């Protein structure tokens, strides 16, 4: 019996010929990641154990991004703790404010994650790198501490849900809509403990940016990881950025899948997830009249240059509605610079939107765009749980960057086609 | 080990943002996190929970973020364990890694009401609803997870392996 993409990568990193779903394995990690919220607990643990050396100074990445730039005195303390640890332990991949970005956009763009890798991160959206045909998954701070010390992680081999994409997406449909549609179908625990593996001729119309968005939200279906096969798009991205050599992994023809579902991309409309779960999706045409107070474009889900271009294409020559605050967060300094060079920043600022330095800030209600009681936002982020962006009685709707930008102009959730 | 306390009952998909909202993640101090445990779903919980009490919930408990602050805040609040129909995977991992007992018991969850007195015998794997005089078997924990608990959590386990090399 053959193996799925996930099984193959896990077997290789466990030094095994094969692995089966349900098995517990000890696997070597190519990169272990932490941020300013999760690293302090891991750092504390490493120090308390009296460990003076990490397993590999180049295979750990520490990125202050959640409450960076320092939002208050306590978070400044957490950031300082990370910085001092990085210096003391010689962590090569520590990214300071001004050189940093949102971890899940930064690390693949910096070429620190390559196809075939096994990556763990103390952040649930670590599953983003599946877009590169790598295995990556979110873990907790204690797992991060253990990996920093040993270079290994315990994993249960997941069974795989195969998702076959067909057709070509229509106007205003992006990667975000593909994953919101899937989560709407299977639910927030529809792929609990499973790997989601994408396949089908529809892959040809998914650029890398969209694949990152789709893999990013695998966790929102309860999945361990969301992985794409290696193809020309992966090759082009990896060749341009990879800092290490990589090995191409392919799924076996006779691999065994726990289940299979199909998605016809040509039948998709832009999707909007209603509060308070990502599974509460509706096609845009069925949303009705939903006024918004704030619009956020950014995050590890949709803060790439392609996302900013999409939002800018809608905003160009238009103004943000009087009753709306629009906030735009390029995910990295590189993207920030690119947006400036392409004139996107001018489009945003002229339209009356705020353009920020990279941060996760508002996505988790941290800072830089927290909602008051009763306020409503549409965001290109990944979660719309109770209180996610601020007050427990505020609301978050999830959508793609074009729909978010159109909503900023309209003052309510809507399509770019409705703007005259 | 025997655990005993009353039930605090919640629904499906209790996420980590309501267990411990991100606005409190600028610290990892357990006592501080405990003050805000479950705040956005139940403002009474943190003030009224008694040592030994259980959090009882539906499917997919702990979905969302990887923040270990979630099981830390529950443990520090005094709760002895979480009983749910099912758990989100990172929360499940984190709980074992940092030593918060969690149990899957779907039928029991359906029949437990808020305030019921519960007891769990971890060795025999039995959950008793003392109020309703009913007994349930907990879904057994995989042997590796039992090893982790026996070793005193993941870090002790890793540390012991490291010294053995």
Strand partners, A295: A326, A378
Q: Taking residues A46-59, what's their average pLDDT?
A: 96
Is residue A54 a contact partner of residue A149, using CB atoms and an 8 Å limit? yes
In terms of CA atoms, which chain A residue is nearest residue B156? A49
State the Cα torsion A231-A234-A239-A241 to the nearest 10°.
-170
Q: What is the percent of chain B where pLDDT is above 90? A: 76
Q: Is the pLDDT of residue A230 over 60?
A: yes
Residue found by looking up tokens 């610079």 in the block:
A337
Q: What is the DSSP string of A275-340?
A: TT-TT-EEEGGG----B-SEEEE-HHHH-SHHHHHHHHHHHTT----TT-EEEE--SBHHHHHHHH
| Secondary structure element (H or E) that encloses residue A135, with its range | strand A135-138
What pLDDT score was predicted for residue B151?
A: 79
Would the CB atoms of A383 and B64 count as touching at under 8 Å? yes
ipTM rounded to 2 decimals: 0.95
Q: Of A347-351, B37-41, B87-91, B141-145, which range is least confident?
A: B141-145
- What residues contact B4, with CB distance under 8 A and at least 6 apart? B52, B80, B117, B118, B119, B120
Q: Taking residues A91-98, what's their average pLDDT?
A: 98
Write the pLDDT tens digit of every residue in A341-383. Answer: 999 999 999 999 999 999 999 999 999 999 999 999 999 999 9
Q: How far is B130 from chain A (nearest CA, A)?
A: 31
Residue found by looking up tokens 């900023």 in the block:
A408
Considering chain B, what is the average pLDDT of its residues?
93
Q: Is the pLDDT of residue B164 over 70?
A: no
- Helix/strand/coil (H/E/C) assignment for every residue in B51-100: CCCEEEECCCECECCCCCHHHHHHHHHCCCEEEECCECHHHHHHHHHHCC
Q: Which residues of A touch B144 (CB under 8 A)?
A: 24, 154
Single pTM value for the model: 0.97
Cα separation, A395 vs A373, in Å, equals 9
Write the pLDDT tens digit of every residue in A219-229. Answer: 999 999 999 99
Cα separation, B30 vs B48, in Å, equals 17
What pLDDT score was predicted for residue B155?
A: 86
Q: Is the pLDDT of residue A85 over 70?
A: yes
pLDDT band at A264 (very low <50, low <70, confident <90, very high): very high
What pLDDT score was predicted for residue B165?
A: 52
Closest CA to A307 of A402, A207, A185, A188: A402
Q: Which residues of B touch A24 (CB under 8 A)?
A: 142, 144
pLDDT band at B144 (very low <50, low <70, confident <90, very high): confident
Q: Is the pLDDT of residue A184 over 60?
A: yes
| Phi then psi dihedrals of residue B131, to 5 deg | -65, -45
B92: left (phi over 0), alpha (psi -120 to 50) or beta: alpha
Is residue A377 a contact partner of residue A411, using CB atoms and an 8 Å limit? no
What pLDDT score was predicted for residue A120?
A: 98
What pLDDT score was predicted for residue A84?
A: 98
Cα separation, A15 vs A319, in Å, equals 57
Q: Taking residues A168-181, what's their average pLDDT?
A: 98
| Secondary structure element (H or E) that encloses residue A262, with its range | strand A259-264
Q: Which residues of B touch A373 (CB under 8 A)?
A: none
Cα separation, A243 vs A330, in Å, equals 23
In chain B, which among 47-76 make CB contacts under 8 A with chain A? Answer: 59-60, 63-69, 72
Would the CB atoms of B66 and A124 count as touching at under 8 Å? yes
What pLDDT score was predicted for residue A104?
A: 98
Q: Is the pLDDT of residue B51 over 90?
A: yes
In chain A, which among 32-71 make CB contacts under 8 A with chain B? Answer: 37-38, 40-41, 44-45, 49, 66-67, 71
Residue found by looking up tokens 């099981």 in the block:
B71
pLDDT band at A416 (very low <50, low <70, confident <90, very high): very high
Query: Looking at the partner chain, which of A49, A146, A386 has a beta carbon nearest the beta carbon of B40?
Result: A386
Chain A to chain B, count of Cβ pairs less than 8 Å apart?
Answer: 137
pLDDT band at A149 (very low <50, low <70, confident <90, very high): very high
Q: Is the pLDDT of residue A1 over 90?
A: no
Q: Is the pLDDT of residue B158 over 90?
A: no
Considering chain A, what is the average pLDDT of its residues?
98
What pLDDT score was predicted for residue B122?
A: 84
Q: Which residues of B touch A67 (CB under 8 A)?
A: 25-26
What pLDDT score was predicted for residue B153?
A: 78
Would the CB atoms of B155 and A154 count as touching at under 8 Å? no
Give the Cα-Cα-Cα angle A105, A111, A113 (nearest 5 degrees): 75
Q: Taking residues A273-286, what's their average pLDDT?
A: 98
């Amino acid at each position: 019996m053959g193996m799925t993409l996930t099984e193959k990568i896990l077997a290789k990193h466990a030094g095994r010929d094969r692995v089966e779903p349900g098995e517990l394995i000890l696997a070597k990690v190519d990169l272990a990641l932490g941020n300013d919220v999760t690293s302090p607990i891991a750092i504390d643990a490493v120090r308390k154990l009296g460990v003076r050396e990490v397993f590999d100074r180049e295979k750990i990445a520490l990125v202050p991004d959640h409450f960076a730039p320092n939002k208050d005195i306590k978070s400044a303390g957490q950031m300082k703790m990370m910085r001092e640890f990085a210096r003391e332990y010689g962590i090569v991949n520590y990214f300071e404010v001004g050189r940093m970005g949102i971890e899940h956009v930064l690390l693949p763009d910096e070429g620190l994650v390559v196809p075939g890798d096994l990556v763990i991160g103390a952040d649930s959206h670590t599953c983003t790198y599946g877009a590169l045909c790598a295995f990556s998954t979110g873990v907790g701070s204690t797992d991060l501490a253990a990996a920093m010390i040993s270079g290994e992680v315990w994993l249960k081999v997941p069974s795989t849900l195969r998702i076959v994409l067909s057709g070509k997406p229509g106007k205003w449909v992006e990667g975000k809509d593909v994953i919101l549609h899937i989560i709407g179908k299977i639910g927030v625990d529809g792929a609990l403990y499973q790997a989601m593996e994408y396949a089908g001729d529809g892959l040809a119309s998914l650029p890398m940016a969209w694949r990152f968005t789709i893999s990013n939200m695998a966790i929102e279906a309860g999945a361990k990881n969301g992985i794409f096969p290696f193809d020309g798009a992966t090759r082009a991205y990896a060749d341009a950025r990879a800092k290490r050599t990589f090995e191409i992994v392919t799924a076996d023809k006779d691999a065994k899948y726990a289940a299979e579902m199909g998605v016809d991309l040509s039948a998709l409309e832009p999707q909007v997830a209603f509060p308070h779960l990502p599974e509460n999706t509706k096609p845009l045409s069925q949303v009705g009249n939903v006024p918004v107070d704030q619009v956020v474009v950014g995050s590890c889900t949709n803060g790439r240059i392609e996302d900013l271009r999409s939002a800018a294409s809608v905003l160009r020559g238009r103004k943000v509605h009087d009753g709306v605050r629009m906030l735009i967060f390029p995910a990295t300094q590189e993207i920030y610079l690119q947006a400036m060079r392409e004139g996107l920043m001018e489009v945003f600022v002229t339209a009356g939107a705020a353009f920020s330095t990279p941060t996760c800030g508002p996505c988790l209600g941290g800072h830089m765009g927290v909602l008051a009681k009763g306020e409503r936002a549409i965001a290109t982020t990944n979660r719309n749980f109770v209180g996610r962006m601020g007050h427990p009685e505020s609301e978050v709707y999830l959508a793609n960057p074009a729909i978010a930008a159109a909503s900023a102009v309209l003052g309510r959730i809507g399509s770019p086609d409705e703007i005259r | 080990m025997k655990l005993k306390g009353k039930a605090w009952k919640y629904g499906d998909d209790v996420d980590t943002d309501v267990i411990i909202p991100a606005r409190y993640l600028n610290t990892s101090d357990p006592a501080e996190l405990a003050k805000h445990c479950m705040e956005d779903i139940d403002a009474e919980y943190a003030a009224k929970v008694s040592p030994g009490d259980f959090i009882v919930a539906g499917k997919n408990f702990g979905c969302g973020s990887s923040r270990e602050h979630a099981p830390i805040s529950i443990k520090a609040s005094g709760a002895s364990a979480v009983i749910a129909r099912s758990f989100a995977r990172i929360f499940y991992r984190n709980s074992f890694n940092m030593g918060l007992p969690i149990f899957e018991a779907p039928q029991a969850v359906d029949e437990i009401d808020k305030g019921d007195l519960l007891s769990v015998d971890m060795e025999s794997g039995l959950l008793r609803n003392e109020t309703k005089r009913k007994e349930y078997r907990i879904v057994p924990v995989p042997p590796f997870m039992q090893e982790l608990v026996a070793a005193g959590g993941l870090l002790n386990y890793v540390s012991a392996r490291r010294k053995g090399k």
